[in-house]
Amino acid sequence: MMLGSVSILVTPLVAQAQQSGTIRRIGFLSLAAAESSVSQQLQQALRATLRAVGYEEGKNLLIEWRWGNDVIASLPALAADLVDRKVEVIIAVLNDEIAAVMRATRSVPIVMMFGHLPVEQGFVTSLSHPGGNVTGSTWNPPENAPKLLQLLKEATPTATRIAALWNPTFPGARLYGSEFERAAPGLGVQLSSFEATRPDEVLPAMAKLAASKPDGFFIFLDPVVASHLAEVTKMAIDHRLASISGANSFTAAGGLISYAPDTLENIRRTIGKVDQILKGAKPAEIPVEQPTRYILTINLKTARAIGAVIPKSMLLRADKIIE
């Protein structure tokens, strides 16, 4: 049904775009639900960034949007459909989407938006020389995981028991878990793990986490866990739990702290590589870029709700404070 509804919208866009000359056709694939607030914001940012480099839907650009609605099993068909529609380049958001598109084509250029461990996952040969039909940007590398633990400990100095809510089946996630375990003893904390591998497991896992009464918790926001982000942050507030994540959307949804790469920077890089490819560059020769700017966000509204007093030194370093 989703594929049919998308194709119905394509025809008027094509007719309008033909009036302006050459039409470039690109694909987009996300596991998320199209109607989610994060997806809506992502679409707006992508369109704005494309306009900034000369591409506008309905004029000289057609975007084939595909959304998985949190169903991983839908990705192969969606990826194959994009290839069948002869798009010139495909933007793939996260690892599951990247892998699905790679299985569908080894010739259509693929641009990763938030690739986790692309070399280790076999998406590219190396960051400097991708070597195939994939390039793009990476997201928070595992070596930054201890920083999240350090920040949570700084916000709650007396914390000794930290829990983690995560999906261990997300490609590359276990490497992040290993980094947390390596850093924990030096910070004087013990870790406990609560896993959710499907959307219907997220809230039960969070309920068990809350019942264990940790001093704080970390949330790894892959698409599965993110499917219940609003409910998770509400439960954390209800149980007065300090929390941190490596995704900016976490604090926007009511989480206490986030420390994450600049999302807009990744989007600009993604569109920059799409532009290069549309102008003739080969993805094999376009280096994969890593994050260079990280944003520390503190939600003071949440801090007040859970009775947390954030150190002044931490507030002064914050890039963004939500009142």
Residue 122 has pLDDT above 60, yes or no: yes
Residues 121-131: what's their mean pLDDT?
A: 96
Query: Is the CB of residue 149 less than 8 Å from the CB of residue 189?
Result: yes
* CATH architecture group of domain 2-138+262-291: 3-Layer(aba) Sandwich (3.40)
pLDDT tens column, 48-88:
999 999 999 999 999 999 999 989 999 999 999 999 999 99
pLDDT tens column, 3-33:
333 333 343 444 444 444 689 999 999 998 8
Query: Distance (Å, rounded) from C-alpha 93 to C-alpha 31?
Result: 8
Task: Please give the share of the chain, as a percent, with pLDDT higher than 90.
Answer: 81
Please determine whether the domains at 2-138+262-291 and 142-261+295-322 fall in the same fold group of CATH.
yes
Give 143's pLDDT tier (boundaries 50, 70, 90): confident
Query: Is the CB of residue 81 less than 8 Å from the CB of residue 3?
Result: yes
Partners of 295 in the beta sheet?
260
How long a stretch of residues is the chain? 323
Query: Distance (Å, rounded) from C-alpha 219 to C-alpha 32?
Result: 18
At 62, is the secondary structure helix, strand, or coil? strand
pLDDT tens column, 262-275:
999 999 999 999 99
294-299 β-sheet, strand order:
190-195, 161-166, 216-219, 242-245, 257-261, 294-299, 320-322
Predicted pLDDT at 172: 78
Predicted pLDDT at 7: 36
What are the residue boundaries of the structural domains of the chain, listed by start?
2-138+262-291, 142-261+295-322
Strands 110-115, 134-138: pairing kind: parallel
Predicted pLDDT at 8: 36
pLDDT tens column, 150-196:
999 999 999 999 999 999 998 778 888 899 999 999 999 999 999 99
Q: Pull the structure tokens for residue 60.
A: 């000289």
Residue 284 has pLDDT above 50, yes or no: yes
Q: Which of 8-22, 118-132, 235-249, 261-275 has the lowest mean pLDDT?
A: 8-22
Query: Distance (Å, rounded) from C-alpha 290 to C-alpha 269?
Result: 10
Task: Please give the share of the chain, as a percent, with pLDDT higher than 70.
Answer: 93
Q: Which of 20-29, 213-222, 253-262 has the lowest mean pLDDT?
A: 20-29
pLDDT tens column, 300-319:
999 999 999 999 999 999 99
CATH class of 142-261+295-322: alpha beta
